[in-house]
Chains A and B, each alone.
Chain A
Amino acid sequence: MKRTRALPAGAARPRARRVYTLSTGAVAAALVVVAAGCGGSSSSSSPPAQPAAHKGGTFTILANSAFGVADPAQNYTLEQWQLLIDTHDGLVGFAKAGGLAGNKIVPDLATAIPKPTNGGKTYLFHIRRGIKFSNGQTLKPSDFVTTFERQFTVPGPTSFYSGIVGADKCSTKGCDLSKGAVADDSGYTLTINLTAPNPEFMDQLALPFAFAVPAKTSPKLTGNNVPPGTGPYMWKSYNPNTQAVLVRNPYFHVWNAQAQPAGYPDQIIEKYGLQVSDEVRAVQNGQANEVFDGDQIPSDQLNQLNSPKYASQVHVNTLTADWYFALNTKQPPFNNVQARQAINYAANRAAYVKIAGGPSLAVPTCQVLPPNFPAYKAYCPYTAGTDHTKWTAPDLAKARQLVQQSGTAGMKVVVNGTNDQVGKALVQQMVSDLNAIGYKASPQLLAASIQYPFVQNSSNSAKWNVGWSAWYQDYPAPSDFLNVLLGCGNIHPNSDASPNIAAFCDKNVQAKIDQAESMAATNAAGATALWTQVDHMDTDAAPWVDMYNPKQIDFLSKNVHGYKWSPQWYILIDQLWLS
């Protein structure tokens, strides 16, 4: 798959990613909101001393395949993002820190996080002086204008920046954001004007799509050539068939160690083309330092990694991600809420967890928001027993009763999924669960690259009833799950990019979503409470069968030290050092 972590470039999954490790999601939300909304955050923090003795060496990552085109305006994969955060910077960034601190937005190329004015629609950024790209060119505010315009001409996943004034007229043929992103190269300021307040704008600016590239960068896709950046490393080469090589950027100096500290290794190499089992063996033998595809390690080798010998080399972290089956709410039987609730009661989540690698690698869930996420409050009505805060077992009696009440018993149900090993197993389990409560279910397996656009496109709606999908956070905001995946505004008829796969639209839920979004800037706690309500309302309406929240395995060689897990970026490669 890779499941969803390494989507092909240009794939229509518009957002997909990442983690969170610790609990107290509300605190995390508050931190983000405070950072975004209060303005005037400190622009500089004294960089923590980095022991010089730890610097040096070549850090080698092994990945099954490359990440597609390397243009940061378009690439939407964790695989490249983990490298891009070491070579490029945005106006703001997620702190390069382990644990909850990694969710904090800090100023990067901007001197401070500005307080929005004009009713939340205008941001004035002061850009740091004296920063150079890896080609020696000095960073200017106008470079950001090019960066944002390239989002539309390349194009990237434009939805993140479509709120900038003038963006509505942009296309792949051309883009003029001179009114939306106003650069003053002499005063070193950048003013961004939005058409409407956007409480998540700082999160969106911290994504690699908004990383600065020189103003003269081609407005078109640069393919495998990564434009220069300002980070501690620069791209020496990238060949999707062999490897990517990052070396130190000679023009880099630390300006905010929270946002962009100097890295330890002198060189970072990511090699492509090995089977995951060979990656594991190479790291076991000390021939490489990291297995990138930790979530694809075969069962055999997982058993090996259980050995105490590897205990210090294996790191497991909970992801803020959902693996779920969307129920097609536009077609019988799942246009009936009782039918949807029935399969939720019948779903054997323990079996899905076992397919994912067992309780050490996945946690069963019934709700949309993942644990350790802002607004998360444990809720699981679809379980046997009376404790509705966690799933314990399916309730088949209740499920069968609901099927009878819904009048949908005996209907044919097509379960759509991917044709890889895990995808097939999940679909077969779902078919079994559906058959157990009186439906006539059959599998429909498609290649992963086709399956996701297929279930999104409403023109295929009559061809499937249950569709597999997974979602990883883009940034720690409840709307990234609740609005993007189940909001009425994210149903785009006849489009391959319609992330509300279930085509679920409930006016009451949407009203709460709108209320939460408008309240976020002024009343963070109130907004969080509303998002919790939305999560529970969605769970009750059952447009999905939530299966589990996955965990991530990082397997490192013995000589790697300084492991840090960022909820946003996962493993922080440049912060690892070699002995």
Chain B
Amino acid sequence: MATLLEQVEADPGLRPAVAGRNPWALAARRLWRNRIAMASLLLFLVIAVMCLAAPLYAHNVAHVNPFPPNLNGHTVVNGKVVPVMRQGGGVLHLGETPIGPTWDPSHYFLGADSLGRDMAALLLYGGRSSLLVGIGAAVLCSLAATVIALIAGFFGGVTDSLLSRLMDVIWAFPVYLLAICISTELLTHSNGFQFGPLHVQASSLWLPTIIIAFIYVPYVYRPMRGQVLSVVNKEFVEASTAQGAGNLRLIFSEILPNVVSTAIVLLPLMIATTILTEAALSFLGVGVQPPNVSWGTIIQDGTDLIYTRPWVTIAPGLMILLTVLSLNVLGDGVRDALDPRAKLRVEG
């Protein structure tokens, strides 16, 4: 009895209509046809563009510098000048409460945070940090994991064992615990992170980016190594070896193009994961550091105001939710588009 593949090969009518096209173009086409994935991509792009436009909003619409505290500032609500921070009422007048949302884009649209800063502008700037750290960490992590997986899978033997065990050691730690430990250690160094000529200040966005990238390397390394191992003994690699290709050429010209789709499939999911990790670390005070803000730090600042000024917490929470949701759905779409096993299903 013929297998399905043999049947397809024997019957020209069952062959894909687009046979012979570039596989990347095929994947792009499949992705384009996936409406839900495209909607998610659009949502993500809208969020990203809004965040990138943060300086435009702050300077041209809200007319604020959202970073320095503005505890003694004033704003306009319904034509009246009011203080941004209001002293508590009652008999004791305890505490200071920031102004709530005015829903006026030019005057504290989402209200103020506990330092009297414009929440809407902070939210956009925070998004820049969250996306930069999230995307940066995911890309760094994927690059590092891919390179290590290529080396381990290609050379095998002792090299593979050593690198794999090293990855296992990192993997053995609970991911958040490891991130908190490293962050705490580096943040308490007044000079931040210093390794040879590389020097990263504690307040730099690079610090959480590097830490988050580091902790997730084994998670990308595992599937990447598996792919490399499955490709390294294929006939086309042997053929290239027989033609006298060197190791570098074999790795980067023969193996890498055949495994990179795995990294690409993982990338949107990794970005979603790293954004969540950044938010969690910043919420715990060991992620993005002042003067920078991120969605996680804004949520942390809002915890004391959760009843009186819930938008300080809800707004960044919603942004994280929408961003991660869009990336996860997009990631599924990319996987469907690039997964060869899904080819017949999608084309059919």
B72 at the interface (CB under 8 A from A): yes
Q: Is the CB of B190 within 8 A of A358?
A: no
* Beta-carbon nearest neighbor of A464 in chain B: B190
Taking each of B92, B114, B202, which has the highest tally of chain A beta carbons within 10 Å of its own beta carbon? B92
* Beta-carbon nearest neighbor of A427 in chain B: B290
- Known A351-B72, A429-B71; judge A358-B94 contact (CB<8 A): yes
Q: Is the CB of A443 within 8 A of B203?
A: yes
Q: Which residues of chain A from 520 to 564 have any CB-CB distance to chain B below 8 Å in the complex? A: 553
Inter-chain pairs besides A348-B71, A360-B93, A428-B115, 12 sampled, C-beta below 8 Å:
A303-B97, A307-B90, A311-B91, A350-B72, A351-B69, A354-B71, A355-B69, A419-B187, A428-B290, A431-B68, A431-B290, A443-B291
A311 to B89 CA separation, bound complex (whole angstroms): 12
Q: Is the CB of B69 within 8 A of A302?
A: no
Q: Which of B252-260, B262-270, B300-308 forms part of the interface with chain A?
A: B300-308
Q: Is the CB of A359 within 8 A of B69?
A: no
Residues of B within 8 A of A431 (CB): 68, 290-291
Residues of A within 8 A of B34 (CB): none
- The 3 lowest CB-CB distance pairs between A and B, nearest first, are A306-B90, A302-B95, A432-B68
Residues of A within 8 A of B233 (CB): none
Residues of B within 8 A of A305 (CB): 90, 92, 94
Q: Is the CB of B188 within 8 A of A450?
A: yes
Q: Is the CB of A300 within 8 A of B306?
A: yes
B285 at the interface (CB under 8 A from A): yes
Q: Is the CB of B305 within 8 A of A299?
A: yes
Q: Is the CB of A432 within 8 A of B91?
A: no
Q: Is the CB of B308 within 8 A of A463?
A: no
A420 at the interface (CB under 8 A from B): yes
Q: Which residues of chain B from 111 to 130 have any CB-CB distance to chain A below 8 Å in the complex? A: 114-116
Query: Could you jot down 17 A-B contacts, CB within 8 Å?
Result: A299-B96, A299-B97, A299-B114, A303-B88, A303-B94, A308-B90, A311-B91, A354-B72, A360-B87, A361-B94, A361-B95, A416-B190, A421-B304, A428-B69, A442-B203, A442-B291, A446-B187
B184 at the interface (CB under 8 A from A): yes
A460 at the interface (CB under 8 A from B): yes
Q: Which residues of chain A from 411 to 461 have any CB-CB distance to chain B below 8 Å in the complex? A: 414, 416, 419-421, 424-425, 427-429, 431-432, 435, 442-447, 450, 454, 460
Residues of B within 8 A of A316 (CB): 92, 94
What residues make up the interface of B, taking CB atoms closer than 8 Å to A? 68-69, 71-72, 85, 87-97, 114-116, 184, 187-188, 190-191, 202-203, 285, 289-291, 300-301, 303-308
- Known A303-B97, A358-B95, A431-B291; judge A463-B190 contact (CB<8 A): yes
Say which residue of A302, A311, A354, A454 sits within 8 Å of B190 (CB atoms).
A454
* Beta-carbon nearest neighbor of A451 in chain B: B188
What residues make up the interface of A, taking CB atoms closer than 8 Å to B? 298-300, 302-303, 305-308, 311, 314, 316, 348, 350-351, 354-355, 357-361, 414, 416, 419-421, 424-425, 427-429, 431-432, 435, 442-447, 450, 454, 460, 463-464, 553
The distance from the CB of A349 to the nearest CB of chain B, in whole angstroms, is 10
- Known A444-B190, A445-B289; judge A298-B69 contact (CB<8 A): no
Taking each of B87, B96, B305, which has the highest tally of chain A beta carbons within 10 Å of its own beta carbon? B96
- Known A299-B114, A432-B68, A447-B188; judge A358-B91 contact (CB<8 A): no
Q: Is the CB of A306 within 8 A of B94?
A: yes
The distance from the CB of A424 to the nearest CB of chain B, in whole angstroms, is 6
* Beta-carbon nearest neighbor of B190 in chain A: A463
Q: Is the CB of A350 within 8 A of B92?
A: no
A532 to B239 CA separation, bound complex (whole angstroms): 91
Say which residue of B68, B71, B187, B191 sits within 8 Å of A445 (CB atoms).
B187
Say which residue of B91, B94, B191, B285 sits within 8 Å of A308 (CB atoms).
B91
* Beta-carbon nearest neighbor of B87 in chain A: A358
Q: Is the CB of A311 within 8 A of B87?
A: no
* Beta-carbon nearest neighbor of B308 in chain A: A300
A444 to B291 CA separation, bound complex (whole angstroms): 10
The distance from the CB of A259 to the nearest CB of chain B, in whole angstroms, is 33
Q: Is the CB of A299 within 8 A of B304?
A: yes
Q: Is the CB of A359 within 8 A of B87?
A: yes
The distance from the CB of B293 to the nearest CB of chain A, in whole angstroms, is 10
Residues of B within 8 A of A424 (CB): 290
* Beta-carbon nearest neighbor of A445 in chain B: B289
The distance from the CB of A426 to the nearest CB of chain B, in whole angstroms, is 9
A416 to B191 CA separation, bound complex (whole angstroms): 12
A432 to B188 CA separation, bound complex (whole angstroms): 22
> Which DSSP category, helix, strand, loop or mixed, fits chain B's interface?
loop
The distance from the CB of B175 to the nearest CB of chain A, in whole angstroms, is 21
Residues of A within 8 A of B96 (CB): 299, 354, 357-358
Residues of B within 8 A of A416 (CB): 190
A360 to B115 CA separation, bound complex (whole angstroms): 18
- Known A306-B88, A444-B202; judge A357-B69 contact (CB<8 A): no
Residues of B within 8 A of A307 (CB): 90
- Known A298-B304, A431-B291, A432-B69; judge A306-B92 contact (CB<8 A): yes
Say which residue of B85, B94, B202, B291 sits within 8 Å of A553 (CB atoms).
B94
The distance from the CB of B336 to the nearest CB of chain A, in whole angstroms, is 43
The distance from the CB of A552 to the nearest CB of chain B, in whole angstroms, is 12
Residues of A within 8 A of B116 (CB): 354
The distance from the CB of A480 to the nearest CB of chain B, in whole angstroms, is 28
The distance from the CB of B114 to the nearest CB of chain A, in whole angstroms, is 7
Taking each of A298, A311, A350, A450, which has the highest tally of chain B beta carbons within 10 Å of its own beta carbon? A298
A324 to B187 CA separation, bound complex (whole angstroms): 23
A460 to B189 CA separation, bound complex (whole angstroms): 11
* Beta-carbon nearest neighbor of B68 in chain A: A432
The distance from the CB of B303 to the nearest CB of chain A, in whole angstroms, is 7
A308 to B94 CA separation, bound complex (whole angstroms): 12
Residues of B within 8 A of A303 (CB): 88-89, 94-95, 97, 308
The distance from the CB of A281 to the nearest CB of chain B, in whole angstroms, is 12
Say which residue of B89, B285, B303 sits within 8 Å of A420 (CB atoms).
B285
A298 to B188 CA separation, bound complex (whole angstroms): 26
Residues of B within 8 A of A425 (CB): 69, 114-115
Say which residue of B68, B95, B114, B305 sits within 8 Å of A306 (CB atoms).
B95
Q: Is the CB of B85 within 8 A of A354?
A: yes
Residues of B within 8 A of A450 (CB): 188
A480 to B32 CA separation, bound complex (whole angstroms): 73
The distance from the CB of A120 to the nearest CB of chain B, in whole angstroms, is 44
Residues of B within 8 A of A350 (CB): 71-72
Taking each of A299, A302, A311, A348, which has the highest tally of chain B beta carbons within 10 Å of its own beta carbon? A299
Q: Is the CB of B190 within 8 A of A419?
A: no
A306 to B95 CA separation, bound complex (whole angstroms): 9
A316 to B68 CA separation, bound complex (whole angstroms): 30
Residues of A within 8 A of B87 (CB): 358-360
* Beta-carbon nearest neighbor of A352 in chain B: B71
Q: Is the CB of A306 within 8 A of B93?
A: yes
- Known A302-B94, A348-B72; judge A463-B191 contact (CB<8 A): yes
Residues of A within 8 A of B92 (CB): 305-306, 311, 314, 316, 360
The distance from the CB of B201 to the nearest CB of chain A, in whole angstroms, is 8
A211 to B63 CA separation, bound complex (whole angstroms): 61
* Beta-carbon nearest neighbor of B189 in chain A: A446
A270 to B88 CA separation, bound complex (whole angstroms): 30
A302 to B87 CA separation, bound complex (whole angstroms): 11
Say which residue of A359, A419, A428 sits within 8 Å of B68 (CB atoms).
A428
A133 to B303 CA separation, bound complex (whole angstroms): 47
Say which residue of B68, B91, B94, B300 sits within 8 Å of A357 (CB atoms).
B94
The distance from the CB of A2 to the nearest CB of chain B, in whole angstroms, is 15
Residues of B within 8 A of A428 (CB): 68-69, 115, 290-291
The distance from the CB of B129 to the nearest CB of chain A, in whole angstroms, is 15
Residues of B within 8 A of A414 (CB): 190
A146 to B221 CA separation, bound complex (whole angstroms): 62
The distance from the CB of B127 to the nearest CB of chain A, in whole angstroms, is 20
A454 to B203 CA separation, bound complex (whole angstroms): 18
A435 to B291 CA separation, bound complex (whole angstroms): 13
* Beta-carbon nearest neighbor of A462 in chain B: B190
* Beta-carbon nearest neighbor of B86 in chain A: A358
Residues of A within 8 A of B93 (CB): 306, 358-360
